[in-house]
Structure 1
Amino acid sequence: MDEVQKEQIVKDLLECTNIALDVFGTRTIQKRKLITDMLTSCEIACKLPAKKKRSVWVKRRRSFEHRKESNYDREEIGMNPTCFKMLLNYIRDDVQKKNTTMREAIPAAEKFASILKFFVSGESFKSLYESEKIKLSTAFISKATPEVCKALWNKLKDTYLKFPSTIRDWKAVAEDFSKKCDFPNCLGVLQTKHIYFKGLRRDGDYYRSASGRHSVKLLALVDANYKFLYTDVGATGQKSDVETLAQSTLQEILHEADDYFPRERIIGNNRKVPYVIVGSDSMPLHKHLLKPYPAASILKKHQVFNIRLAVAKHVADHAFHLLENKFKLLKSVIMLRADTVELITLTMCIIHNFMLEFDEEYKNEIHSDILIQADDKQRHMDDFSDPEVHEAEEVRLDYMEYFNEEGLIEWEVE
């Protein structure tokens, strides 16, 4: 309350007092009491706090004017400014809101950068906000994350996560494997990975894996250039690899491979073998899906065959390693709902493919040396009563003979 307001209140009280004195006339006691009450009222009025004049009717947001699209640190967002701008231009129209008379909308660049920081750091929204690594509130960023991920997925999936659709595309994939892994007729390596998250109470044990944590499974087909050709996320953590493959669309493609894959090709000494996908030992054996022999096998031929599959499988191992190192969120327990976790995982895979094309520093992280990790777990032999399994085993035998004879590499027998 300023001095002018206080003075006006005192004047009003004095005027009211004079009027009251005229009414009471000569009664001294009443006059004395009235004057005392008047002085008390004046004292109280002068102590009243001043009411602040409100300048704005909404809470002010932090300013983003100083931040330009090229000013984001590579270590924070995980990519160079060029890639950041390219991705931002794809989704700007979908995520940028309009300014209103009440306040300006948050820039699309700040929104996208904040989500990338979340992916790259692996920290929670709260931790990033409290450390001032992001300026957006936790409530806002948790709501914006699925919006941005959905925009990226819809815009980029047909370009940077395109499943081979022609015979020529599949033969190009096989040619890369033949050159880089000495593996003919290989159409990719199939592998799974658990993505852990904090399950809701209502989820119960639906997503609980054997480790006791809630997770969804990423099923990915990887080419020789460490790119994802196919991704499927959604199988619960308790599902085996066989069940995960069975509920994916890739299972249908394997059963109708003649409509998708190239015809059988002759390799080596007139060996006519089909094009195949390399899988882990936990995958089902199929005519177009090879898996290693049991590790306990003492046959030299089986060991050579397993080594060649391990060389090809290293491609998928390294692709997942690159993905985890870039987006450390995949190493932590994600504090979001299962459907958002699935969308985030698909988005990370598509950004991985994008960066392998346009980010030289990211491509340089790929190591040329091949790491083979021996698996000492006991394997179970297959049930050969199924005719399809018989056919698949014949294909595996053909490849085993090829790798041990005309396709043998000297270092494999040392």
Structure 2
Amino acid sequence: MAGNEELLLVALLAKKKSKRRSVERKVHVHPILSSRMNTGAHHTLFNDLCADEKKFFNYFLMSRPSFEELLSYVRRDITGTTTNMRECIAPDEKLDVTLSGKLVMAVEAGRWEVPDAESAVAIVGTPVEPGKWYLATGDTITDLQYQYRLGVSTIAKIIREVCKAIWERVKTVCFPDVTERLWLEIAAQFYQKTDFPHCLGALDGKHIRVIKPENSGSLYYNYKNYFSILLLAVCDASHKFIFIDVGAYGKSSDSTVFKESKFFRKLENQTLNVPAPQESYSGFGTPMPFVFVADEAFGLSQHIVRPYAGKFLSQKKRIFNYRLSRARRLIECSFGILANKWRIFHRPLNVSLSLAEDIIKACCVLHNFVRDRDGVRIEDTLTVEGLFDMEPAAGPTSRLASHLRDKFADYFVSD
């Protein structure tokens, strides 16, 4: 009996080895990929784009000087090692691969197909044949494989590597440490553009759609019936992000995410260098604190001002809500510009959660980076469905916070 079991085990091992041999690659590098230096998109197109500034901007969504500056920041982190077997991929080609598709192609190898036709309809909105979903919605790593003559796994690795490098090396440039002087400059810009005094920024959160993470249950399933992770952000009057927080569960509300963020902890611990209350504007009888404006999803506090709730409001409260909305719309515009500029947000991210966070953080950095250097184009400001509001959550309101909001309301109706 034992001898039969040993013979069966030997037969199974032999069968496994023969199956392993059958899937071994016939060539080390596919002939299509081996012609990269002669026919790859970077080697045939990049020099021509550099000769035409307008075409370069349309392709990379930034000017050539901005591209070169960005490359100088990340070059060391994305430079490989040339060996006797092969030459490493140049840093400019890696950045080219990542930016050329507006970061819409960031898809990890091995997660290609939609489970079924019903899931495809739920995600895309129209009937799509299972397994062909990405072909119906835009560029993928498969497309880039043939354009740049690089392997699928190589492109996936490049995208992860470049996004990490952009966040680590450029975030200090695009997200500088805030000082009291910087806060006062932001408050002055807000007052100039929106007529809202003592405003340090607009606060809001958005859902970033993702394909259901493995073994996650309902943690990332939000109230709008799809899977997502959350992006919480504060912007200034020029639509640049001051703080971002990425990666919270899709089922969470704005208020919950905000209270668990580093920004909230620093605000509560008074380590954000927020200016002391001042009588900066006429109409304030006493020194007024500086605040952040937000929508109904956030709780009212001494630092956060939200609209009055209800339909039948007094004229004073309606005027306050109007003035608040003028200031708060800047964060909505910032999210709109982000989604229009980096088209990856137009569809669910079919990547691991860690890579999804890297992509979102890299896009936020690039958002500030390009605005500082190249400004904004009108097409970037057009409204597009890509990011979605977070779930409102009611919370307790302190009497002091309500009194602060009333003082702002009194100011707006004063002469």
Q: Distance in 2 between matches of 1:258 and 1:220?
A: 18
Q: Distance in 2 between matches of 1:244 and 1:252?
A: 12
1:286-301 alignment to 2 at 5 Å? 286-301=301-316
**1:153 Cα deviation from its structure 2 partner:** 0.9
Q: Distance in 1 between matches of 2:380 and 2:157?
A: 34
> Which of 243, 253, 261 does residue 248 from structure 1 map onto?
261
> Which of 197, 222, 230 does residue 243 from structure 2 map onto?
230
What is residue 139 of structure 1 aligned with on the other side? 153
Q: For each residue in 1:157-195, what CA deviation from the matched residue of structure 2 results, as whole angstroms up to 9, or x when unmatched?
A: 11111241x211111111111111111110000010111
> Which of 401, 404, 408 does residue 399 from structure 1 map onto?
408
Q: Distance in 1 between matches of 2:149 and 2:62?
A: 20
Task: Give the counterpart letter for 1:398 in structure 2.
Answer: K
- Verify the 8 A CA contact 1:163 1:230 in the aligned structure 2: no
- Verify the 8 A CA contact 2:255 2:393 in the aligned structure 1: no
Task: Give the counterpart letter for 2:402 in structure 1.
Answer: E
Q: Distance in 2 between matches of 1:210 and 1:254?
A: 28
Q: For each residue in 1:116-135, what CA deviation from the matched residue of structure 2 results, as whole angstroms up to 9, or x when unmatched?
A: 134355635345336x4443
Q: Secondary structure at the match of 2:372?
A: helix
> Which of 151, 158, 176 does residue 162 from structure 1 map onto?
176
What is residue 328 of structure 2 aligned with on the other side? 313
Deviates more, 1:201-210 or 1:254-263: 254-263
Q: Secondary structure at the match of 1:233?
A: strand
Q: Distance in 2 between matches of 1:57 and 1:191?
A: 50
* Seq. identity, %: 28
1:181-330 alignment to 2 at 5 Å? 181-257=194-270, 260-266=273-279, 267-269=281-283, 270-330=285-345
Return 5+ residue gaps in structure 2 as ranges: 1-26, 51-55, 106-137, 383-391
Per the normalisation by structure 1, the TM-score is 0.75
Q: Distance in 2 between matches of 1:317 and 1:243?
A: 20
Task: Give the counterpart letter for 2:309 in structure 1.
Answer: P
Instruction: Point out the structure with max Rg over C-alpha.
Output: 1
Return 5+ residue gaps in structure 1 as ranges: 1-55, 370-378, 407-414
Per the normalisation by structure 2, the TM-score is 0.75
**1:392 Cα deviation from its structure 2 partner:** 0.6
**1:113 Cα deviation from its structure 2 partner:** 1.4
What is residue 365 of structure 2 aligned with on the other side? 350
**Structure 1's 91 and 306: CA in aligned 2 closer, same or farther, altered over 3 A?**
same
**1:203 Cα deviation from its structure 2 partner:** 2.0
- Verify the 8 A CA contact 2:341 2:380 in the aligned structure 1: no
What is residue 126 of structure 2 aligned with on the other side? none
Deviates more, 1:343-352 or 1:73-82: 73-82
**1:300 Cα deviation from its structure 2 partner:** 0.9
- Verify the 8 A CA contact 2:186 2:200 in the aligned structure 1: yes
**1:61 Cα deviation from its structure 2 partner:** 5.1
Q: Distance in 1 between matches of 2:394 and 2:173?
A: 41
Q: Matched residue pairs, number?
A: 334
Task: Give the counterpart letter for 1:328 in structure 2.
Answer: R
Q: Distance in 2 between matches of 1:350 and 1:161?
A: 8
> Which of 150, 167, 192 does residue 153 from structure 1 map onto?
167
Q: What is the RMSD of the two structures over their aligned residues, measured on CA atoms?
A: 2.5
Q: Distance in 2 between matches of 1:117 and 1:366?
A: 17
Deviates more, 1:338-347 or 1:91-100: 91-100
- Verify the 8 A CA contact 1:146 1:343 in the aligned structure 2: yes
Higher relative contact order (CA 8 A, sep 6+): 2
What is residue 103 of structure 1 aligned with on the other side? 86
**1:244 Cα deviation from its structure 2 partner:** 0.6
Q: Secondary structure at the match of 1:151?
A: helix
* 2:399 pairs with 1:390: yes
